[in-house]
Amino acid sequence: MKSLARMLRRNSTDAEQLLWYHLRAHRMAGYKFKRQVIIGPYIVDFVCFEARLVIEADGGQHVEQAVDDKRRTALLESKGFRVIRFWNHDILQNIDSVLEDIHKQLMNTPSPQPSPSGRGGDSGTS
């Protein structure tokens, strides 16, 4: 599976390359994204573990794979991820709108629960 993920990274579609340009190197609101990552039995196009957000760039083949995509999304959601999908055409023709949608998803990310410190009450900082 790792070799397949590596091959997918080397052979990215034009849409994936364009989206990766905007997501990589903390360019999207300071969040770190990875591409072609194995999660369970799947390789997802892009993932931000901090925000628990998976982004999929879908080409024409996904019209026939709708049932598989629903199953994939359900498994990822059961693992605590939110999944958003964009058609390759939309990424290539409307990148600003796609980036805005991703940014909104990131800004709606719940803050992680603080770990218990073992102390009661206020920490004394404001």
* Domains within the chain, CATH numbers bracketed: 2-107 (3.40.960.10)
pLDDT for 97: 98
- Give the helix/strand (H/E) hosting 93: helix 88-93
pLDDT for 75: 97
Question: Average pLDDT for residues 89-93, to the nearest whole number?
Answer: 97
Does 121 have pLDDT greater than 80? no
Give the rounded distance of the alpha carbon of 107 from its chain centre.
13
pTM of the predicted protein model: 0.82
Does 124 have pLDDT greater than 60? no
pLDDT for 59: 85
Cα 81 from Cα 26, distance rounded (Å): 19
pLDDT for 106: 96
Average pLDDT of the chain, as a whole number: 86
pLDDT for 11: 83
